[in-house]
């Protein structure tokens, strides 16, 4: 009996110690913005317990340059980082994340991995040349207009309904693996409708294809 009590107490104190530890942020501007809004105990830091309580992060124009620290916010459902400067953006292993936005962030490379709940992804007005989407099968709305993409792989996005890739450098697009796609915007890509591989699906509304 004493051993059980000791084990339970040890586990309790271990967890308490873990959750009370202040997080070590790489991006100090991101840390500052989070502390300003979510420092519940007013100690000037963010610990794991405080981070776990955050469901929405709106960090627009905060001078953020890295997405590495987002891993601390495992319960976040919505993250908005618009108008920061993040050349290489990577978001991964956030099981509850449903919406991510980083428009006007000067991104050149974007990676999303293991985001099983992500439904909406907004990456407009960047400098994106490379985008990688792995473990993001639930995405139904992808907006990545005003970038520098020459190609994009969409086969894994089986639930995709709305796609906007206008004003990139794409000449051919394969949407044959997206059976739920309803609307597609390709304006500004010098792409004809004949350059779009549809497969057996024909009831798609396409905007901006050249005649």
37 falls within a domain: no
What pLDDT was estimated at residue 12? 39
169 falls within a domain: no
Domain that holds residue 134: 56-148
86 falls within a domain: yes
Name the residue among 57, 65, 69 with its Cα closest to residue 93: 69
What pLDDT was estimated at residue 10? 41
166 falls within a domain: no
| Residue 118 CB-density burial (10 A; 0-12 exposed, 13-18 middle, 19+ buried) | buried
153 falls within a domain: no
68 falls within a domain: yes
Structure tokens at 21: 């530890």
139 falls within a domain: yes
The pLDDT tens digits along the chain (211 residues) read 555 444 433 433 343 444 468 999 999 999 999 999 999 999 999 999 999 999 999 999 999 999 999 999 999 999 999 999 999 999 999 999 999 999 999 999 999 999 999 999 999 999 999 999 999 999 999 999 999 999 999 999 999 999 999 999 999 999 999 999 999 999 999 999 999 999 877 789 999 998 7
What is the reported pTM? Answer: 0.89
Number of domain units in the chain: 1
């Amino acid at each position: 009996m004493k051993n059980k009590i000791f084990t339970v107490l040890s586990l309790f104190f271990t967890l308490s110690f873990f959750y009370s530890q202040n997080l070590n942020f790489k991006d100090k501007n991101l840390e500052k913005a989070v502390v300003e809004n979510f420092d519940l105990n007013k100690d000037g830091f963010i610990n794991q317990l405080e981070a776990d309580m955050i469901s929405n992060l709106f960090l627009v124009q905060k001078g953020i340059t890295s997405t590495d620290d987002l891993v601390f916010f495992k319960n976040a459902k919505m993250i908005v980082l618009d108008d920061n400067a993040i050349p290489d953006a990577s978001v991964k292993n956030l099981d509850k994340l449903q919406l991510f936005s980083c428009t006007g962030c000067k991104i050149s490379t974007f990676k999303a991995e293991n985001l099983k709940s992500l439904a909406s992804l907004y990456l407009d007005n960047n400098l994106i040349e490379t985008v990688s989407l792995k473990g993001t099968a639930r995405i139904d709305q992808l907006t990545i207009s005003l970038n520098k993409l020459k190609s994009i792989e969409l086969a894994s996005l089986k639930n995709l309904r709305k796609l906007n890739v206008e004003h990139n450098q794409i000449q051919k697009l394969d949407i044959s693996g997206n059976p739920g796609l309803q609307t597609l915007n390709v304006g500004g890509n010098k792409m004809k409708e004949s350059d779009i591989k549809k497969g057996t699906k024909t009831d798609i509304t396409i905007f901006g294809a050249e005649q």
